[in-house]
Copies of this chain bind each other. A is one copy, B any other.
């Protein structure tokens, strides 16, 4: 699964730490999701989408391998 976190974060000038604080997770969680090291829970995805004011589907996209 791919995601647009880094881009969305850049558009809002939010650091990984800022974003992490906003949704109540650790900075490493954000970093790891951006790096594709793991797939977040749906709760996280909904919160992230909410922060950016965009649909979950716009921020996270399935790949063939999923």
Contact = CB atoms under 8 A, between A and B. Distances in A.
Interface of A: 1, 39-47, 49-50, 55-57, 60-62, 66
The number of times this chain is found in the oligomer is 2
B46 A56 contact: yes
Nearest to A44: B42
A22 B55 CA distance: 23
A57 B66 contact: no
Tell which of A39, A42, A43, A61 has the most Cβ of chain B within 10 Å: A42
Contacts of A45: 42, 45, 56
A56 B1 CA distance: 15
Closest 8 CB pairs of A and B: A56-B56, A42-B45, A43-B66, A39-B41, A46-B62, A40-B42, A42-B60, A39-B43
